Amino acid sequence: MMRRRAFRRILGIQRVLIKYGLDELITATHMLRPLRFLFWLLPRRRDSSAPLGERIRLALEELGPIFVKFGQAVSTRRDLLPRDIADELAKLQDAVPPFPAEQAIAVLNEAYGRPVEEVFKRFDVEPFAAASIAQIHTARLPNGTEVIVKVLRPGVLEQIERDLDVLRVLAGLADRYWEHGKRLRPLEVVAEYERTIIDELDLLREAANAAHLKRNFEGSDMLYVPEVYWDYCRPEVLVQERIYGIPIKDMEALRAAGTNIQALAENGVEIFFTQVFRHNFFHADMHPGNIFVIVTDPDKPKYAAVDFGIVGSLNQEDKRYLAENFLAFFDRDYRRIAKLHLDSGWVPADTRIEHLEDAVRTVCEPIFNKPLAEISFAQVLMRLFRVAQRFNVEIQPQMILLHKTLFNVEGLGRELYPQLDLWKTAHPVLKRWMDEQVGPRAMLDDLRENLPQIRQALRHLPVAIRQLAEQASTGSIKLDMESPEIRQIRAELAGQRRQRYWLTIAATSVITGTLVMTLAGNVWLGMALLTLGGLAAIAGRPAK
């Protein structure tokens, strides 16, 4: 059933491509090439002399949300596109054709269970902006607060499911028949994308994302996140504080306001790395349509983000791996990069580390310390792809959202300030984070996390000692020494003794360190004892 739906959708995609005179995309696509006969069955209905960028944009709009999102992502990389195509695709960021206002009002009436005019003091019927998943209306709450009302497009789930069918079928074919299928893991990639885009359809989830990001940047002078008005939010409706700022893509307005463009670009890089490594919660849809700039103080411009439907996070292992890779790159330690790839299992274990090191050096060295304006990322990406093929590097689906976001951030930085030194800006943020992971602060945090275990161990310590003494005095420990059960008990008792030993040291060090710091005022000695306690607590963890 899914295959039939997917095949019908593929024919529909081809019909749209032909309609807009994009036949060359079909002839260039291996899978679609056998269907060229449809050129005669479905003659084009649009003059192909119209600008190519306009035809691509219109085709993506007609094909639906997933295709529009692809256009939005690509539109952020003007360095990789002809100017006319980039200009047209930029319209997909916030100028997708809206759906009728009557449908929006019907959605709101059903969501609230009463007429929209009873909910808001003012509701502007004319859409303020429209995108692939939803459209925006402006309104005023009964208390006079100006807000935006985001309304989900009717039928959008069905459209997305239809295109996901196509992606699943294509991924299955690639996984089964393509020589690089196992390495690129297409089925897992599609599953990760499906989870992301389906989550985006729940506007209550988006509201929660916005609230979480706002807490993370509370009091920040670099990023402002609008307030969520929970009483008005529903799964298909999001009501949020209205932002008054300059769209980040309006460079003329930013310059006219005297904005410090260099500071703005550098702050953008720091915000991204802060979200990924310090907060482990990042806005993953940072195209220009979702970003405004508040220029109350032009020397200290402040970002204002909207649209929090797509966010990402990484597990601790992936996050640390990425940070170490970035830092190794900043230090030009290409052997370290190669070793990290081997240790993580992302390349086969029999890979010669010096060969991988040479390949990484060949790609990275030419771009090191260059501003964005002097880097051809199209060439860099092609070289990295060849390296990945040569060494059978496995795609990590959990990283794709991060890669997409970094792709957008780098493109945005290039547009804002081409002289931006991406490496110089990002290095201090990563260095601070790594220091926090392995320094005294990290040890204290780990110790605080293990304090309940330490307290419990100390409470049970007298009983455990008495039991061990009784067993030793009766000689019962020595009975049936060769039986598996006794060997297991011996191992468990040894583990318990080791754990209690280290936890006792940890507790003693913590208590003594705290007393030394608070009563004797010796901060350095106190910190040393607390650090010792942290190490002892780690050593005393139960074996996994």
Q: How many CB atoms lie within 10 A of CB 485?
A: 8
Q: Is residue 112 part of a domain?
A: no
Considering the domain architecture, whether residues 276 and 338 belong to the same structural domain is answered as: yes
Tens-digit pLDDT profile for residues 7-55: 777 777 778 877 887 766 555 554 444 555 555 455 555 556 788 888 8
Q: Is residue 130 part of a domain?
A: no
Considering the domain architecture, whether residues 385 and 447 belong to the same structural domain is answered as: no
Considering the domain architecture, whether residues 282 and 406 belong to the same structural domain is answered as: yes
**What is the pLDDT at residue 493?**
60
SS3 462: helix
CA atoms of 488 and 485, how far apart (whole Å): 5
Q: Is residue 145 part of a domain?
A: no
**What is the pLDDT at residue 403?**
75
Q: Is residue 8 part of a domain?
A: yes
What token pair was written down for 69?
A: 């999102």
Considering the domain architecture, whether residues 342 and 354 belong to the same structural domain is answered as: yes
Q: Which residues are catalytic?
A: 285
Considering the domain architecture, whether residues 426 and 466 belong to the same structural domain is answered as: no
CA atoms of 178 and 172, how far apart (whole Å): 10
Beta strands in 207-248 (DSSP E): 223-224, 237-241, 246-247
Q: What is the mean pLDDT of the chain?
A: 78
> Beta strand pairing status for 302-305 and 291-294?
antiparallel
Tens-digit pLDDT profile for residues 199-209: 889 999 999 99
* pLDDT higher at 276 or 38: 276
pLDDT at 89 over 80: yes
**What is the pLDDT at residue 152?**
95
CA atoms of 321 and 70, how far apart (whole Å): 28
Considering the domain architecture, whether residues 408 and 465 belong to the same structural domain is answered as: no
The predicted model gives 292-316 an average pLDDT of 91
Considering the domain architecture, whether residues 413 and 465 belong to the same structural domain is answered as: no
Band of pLDDT at residue 479, cut at 50, 70 and 90: very low
Chain centre to alpha carbon of residue 208? 16
CA atoms of 91 and 56, how far apart (whole Å): 11
The alpha carbon torsion through 408, 414, 416, 417 (nearest 10 deg) reads 140
Tens-digit pLDDT profile for residues 336-389: 888 888 887 778 888 889 998 898 888 888 877 677 667 655 566 556 667 776
Considering the domain architecture, whether residues 429 and 446 belong to the same structural domain is answered as: no
Instruction: Give the count of domains, the chain.
Output: 4
Burial (0-12, 13-18, 19+ Cβ within 10 Å), 4: exposed
* pLDDT higher at 249 or 171: 249
**What is the pLDDT at residue 306?**
92
Any idea what the Cα angle at residue 278 is, between residues 262 and 444, rounded to 5°? 135
**Residue 521 contacts by C-beta under 8 Å, 6 or more apart in sequence?**
none
Range of the domain at 167: 156-197
Q: Is residue 68 part of a domain?
A: yes
Considering the domain architecture, whether residues 349 and 406 belong to the same structural domain is answered as: yes
Q: Is residue 151 part of a domain?
A: no
Considering the domain architecture, whether residues 451 and 533 belong to the same structural domain is answered as: yes
Q: Is residue 144 part of a domain?
A: no
Continuous H helices in 274-330: 316-330
- Short-list 292, 286, 293, 253, CA closest to 272: 286
Q: Is residue 473 part of a domain?
A: yes
CA atoms of 72 and 540, how far apart (whole Å): 51
Considering the domain architecture, whether residues 386 and 353 belong to the same structural domain is answered as: yes
**What is the pLDDT at residue 276?**
87
Domain boundary among 197, 218, 248: 197
**What is the pLDDT at residue 347?**
81
**What is the pLDDT at residue 91?**
82
**What is the pLDDT at residue 304?**
95
Total residues belonging to the chain: 544
Domain boundary among 147, 177, 197: 197
Tens-digit pLDDT profile for residues 511-543: 665 555 555 555 555 556 556 656 555 555 555
Considering the domain architecture, whether residues 470 and 424 belong to the same structural domain is answered as: no
Domain boundary among 148, 169, 197: 197
